[in-house]
């Protein structure tokens, strides 16, 4: 039997395994089964691709990764998409690359400031600290949970060099205002699109406004590769620097397993190295090894085929949830979005109008007892987190909404496996809490 026949046989067995083992577990029955706030959605094609890749045993980035990057670039309408091993790594590289000497006078240096929001996920903020830069924290708007743009001008100083903000829960911030602000003040703009793959603003994909965009493929997100993420840019220079930081900091840009792409491998002279030092071992940055494996990318290739359907289902579920929860408007602040925004919803955020943190705590317990998953809105006011003690940062305004989020905001799921029955159940459980 040829190897091709072996492969076909294995793929058939994988298909049968999916049908018998995974498909039967997908139905979630309200009150009986736990309704997760996030969940990976897949079929036999992802598993077949994964097995196919493992049989090749290439292990590091290979043909599937090339396909995945190309498909991701086409979907996001961003010229270069460089995959990495996590969304956190994507953010780390995105900001780190702006410290490169290759950027020239605009490069970020120790002590420079980066504007962000206080009510954000640590992985958006941590790269600022990790690069010895100073985060400047702004407040957000309740309901939107995105940057309050009225604070932008007040946040400027002589040390401001960049803006790095996430589109919260797939809801685009006013990217046109932020983009204009950055352009006017010669600032770099990094869009964290971890929660917002496929979201649009004024008809354009998020991620296409800034200098760099990032996204995540953790199982909770719109599509998954297990662990995984991507850094995206339209700049040839930034693409080179991004991949240098991702690949040990090397100056060489050969793909894995490829030699002498530049056609002068032994004819370089950089730094204080001797002329002719092997280009594959010349390092222009203090980088990392953060590549995505081909097995992860193989999953992503199939997941991207489903992304439009995933987004549509999330939008439908958002509308259903908003319609249902509008009956609790006296108790909860419902989510809103900018007029020009087309969100790609990651979750359904709600803020309890009552200012007592005890109310949210008791509500969370009520949800858990009823087998409904919930999450808080990331780190709340991040400046109150233990790891921020004795850190250097600057605050603009009073962050009152970030404090409110810290005490009173939560979100529930609207992923593709949630249907009308789940939504009705989640609403009924919530109504019982507030009406009793």
Tens digits of residue pLDDT in 155-192: 999 999 999 999 999 999 999 999 999 999 999 999 99
- Indicate the pLDDT class of residue 336, thresholds 50, 70 and 90: very high
Nearest-5° angle of CA 296, CA 302, CA 305? 140
Cα(93)–Cα(67) distance, rounded to whole angstroms?
A: 22
197-215 per-position pLDDT tens digit: 999 999 999 999 999 999 9
Cα(358)–Cα(356) distance, rounded to whole angstroms?
A: 5
DSSP character for 250?
Answer: B
* Domain coordinates in residue numbering, the chain: 54-303, 307-435
Name the residue with higher pLDDT: 79 or 60.
79
Of 236, 254, 240, whose CA–CA distance to 284 is shortest?
240
DSSP character for 255?
Answer: P
232 SS3 class: strand
Dihedral-angle region of residue 198 (phi above 0 means left; psi in -120 to 50 means alpha; beta otherwise): left
Name the residue with higher pLDDT: 7 or 114.
114
Position 3 scores a pLDDT of 58
Kindly state the average pLDDT of the residues 304-317. Answer: 98
Q: Does domain 307-435 have CATH number 3.90.1150.10?
A: yes
Cα(75)–Cα(367) distance, rounded to whole angstroms?
A: 36
Kindly state the average pLDDT of the residues 277-304. Answer: 96
Kindly state the average pLDDT of the residues 362-366. Answer: 97
CB 55 within 8 A of CB 11: no
DSSP character for 98?
Answer: G
Nearest-5° angle of CA 329, CA 352, CA 412? 90
Residue 221 designated active-site: yes
Cα(348)–Cα(335) distance, rounded to whole angstroms?
A: 7
- Indicate the pLDDT class of residue 73, thresholds 50, 70 and 90: very high
Torsion of CA 180, 185, 188, 193, to 10 degrees: -30
CB 404 within 8 A of CB 351: yes
133-145 per-position pLDDT tens digit: 999 999 999 999 9
CB 223 within 8 A of CB 365: no
Kindly state the average pLDDT of the residues 304-331. Answer: 98
Position 5 scores a pLDDT of 87
Cα(169)–Cα(192) distance, rounded to whole angstroms?
A: 11
CA distances 190 to 98, 116, 292, 378, 393, Å, are 10, 10, 21, 19, 19
How crowded is residue 111: how many other Cβ atoms within 10 Å of its Cβ?
Answer: 11
Kindly state the average pLDDT of the residues 367-384. Answer: 96
Looking at every residue in the chain, the average pLDDT score rounds to 96
Cα(10)–Cα(53) distance, rounded to whole angstroms?
A: 12
Position 127 scores a pLDDT of 98
Q: Could you say which of 3.40.50.300, 3.40.640.10, 3.30.70.360, 1.20.1600.10 is the CATH number of the domain covering 54-303?
A: 3.40.640.10
Relative to beta strand 229-233, strand 80-84 is antiparallel
How crowded is residue 429: how many other Cβ atoms within 10 Å of its Cβ?
Answer: 19
Relative to beta strand 204-205, strand 200-201 is antiparallel
Position 114 scores a pLDDT of 98
CB 238 within 8 A of CB 321: no
Cα(87)–Cα(346) distance, rounded to whole angstroms?
A: 15
Torsion of CA 83, 211, 154, 387, to 10 degrees: 20
Q: Which of 22, 167, 180, 221 is catalytic?
A: 221
Position 40 scores a pLDDT of 94
Kindly state the average pLDDT of the residues 238-252. Answer: 96
Kindly state the average pLDDT of the residues 113-135. Answer: 97
**Residue 251: what are its φ and ψ, rounded to 5°?**
-85, -25
376-433 per-position pLDDT tens digit: 999 999 999 999 999 999 999 999 999 999 999 999 999 999 999 999 999 999 999 9
- Indicate the pLDDT class of residue 2, thresholds 50, 70 and 90: low
Cα(401)–Cα(375) distance, rounded to whole angstroms?
A: 18
Cα(39)–Cα(26) distance, rounded to whole angstroms?
A: 10
Cα(14)–Cα(23) distance, rounded to whole angstroms?
A: 12
Kindly state the average pLDDT of the residues 267-277. Answer: 93
- Indicate the pLDDT class of residue 14, thresholds 50, 70 and 90: very high
Position 375 scores a pLDDT of 97
Q: How many residues does the chain have?
A: 436
183 SS3 class: helix
Position 4 scores a pLDDT of 64
């Amino acid at each position: 039997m040829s190897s091709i026949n072996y492969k076909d046989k294995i793929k058939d067995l994988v298909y049968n395994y999916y049908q018998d083992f995974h498909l039967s577990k997908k139905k979630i029955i309200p009150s009986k089964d736990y309704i997760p706030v996030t969940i990976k959605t897949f079929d036999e094609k992802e598993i077949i691709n994964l097995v196919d890749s493992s049989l090749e045993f290439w292990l590091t980035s290979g043909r599937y990764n090339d396909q995945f990057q190309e498909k991701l670039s086409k979907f996001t309408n961003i010229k270069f998409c460089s995959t990495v091993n996590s969304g956190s790594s994507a953010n780390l590289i995105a900001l780190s690359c702006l410290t490169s000497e290759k950027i020239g006078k605009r490069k970020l240096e120790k002590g420079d400031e980066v504007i962000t929001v206080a009510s954000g996920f640590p992985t958006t903020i941590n790269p600022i600290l990790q690069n010895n830069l100073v985060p400047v924290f702004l407040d957000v708007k309740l309901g939107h949970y995105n940057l309050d743009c009225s604070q932008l001008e007040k946040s400027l100083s002589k040390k401001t060099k960049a803006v790095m903000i996430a589109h919260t829960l797939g809801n685009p911030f006013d990217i046109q205002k932020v983009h204009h602000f950055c352009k006017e003040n010669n600032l770099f703009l990094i869009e964290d699109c971890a929660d917002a793959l496929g979201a649009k603003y004024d008809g354009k994909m998020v991620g296409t406004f800034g200098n760099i965009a990032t996204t995540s493929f953790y199982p909770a997100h719109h599509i998954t590769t297990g662990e995984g993420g991507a850094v995206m840019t339209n700049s040839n220079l930034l693409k080179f620097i991004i991949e240098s930081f991702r690949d040990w900091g090397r100056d060489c840009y050969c793909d894995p397993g490829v030699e002498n792409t530049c056609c002068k491998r032994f004819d370089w002279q950089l730094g204080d190295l001797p002329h002719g030092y092997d280009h594959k071992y010349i390092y222009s940055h203090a980088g990392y090894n953060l590549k995505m494996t081909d097995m992860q990318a193989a999953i992503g290739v199939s997941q991207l085929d489903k992304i439009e359907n995933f987004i549509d289902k999330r939008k439908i579920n958002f509308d259903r949830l908003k319609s249902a929860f509008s009956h609790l408007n006296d108790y909860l602040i419902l989510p809103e979005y900018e007029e020009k925004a087309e969100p790609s919803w990651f979750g359904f955020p709600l803020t309890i109008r009552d200012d007592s943190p005890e109310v949210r705590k008791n509500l969370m317990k009520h949800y858990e007892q009823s087998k409904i998953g919930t999450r808080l809105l990331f780190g709340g006011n991040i400046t109150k987190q233990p790891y921020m003690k004795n850190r250097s940062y600057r605050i603009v305004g009073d962050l009152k909404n970030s404090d409110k989020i810290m005490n009173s905001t939560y979100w529930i799921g609207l992923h593709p496996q949630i249907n009308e029955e789940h939504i009705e159940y989640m609403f009924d459980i919530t109504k019982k809490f507030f009406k009793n």
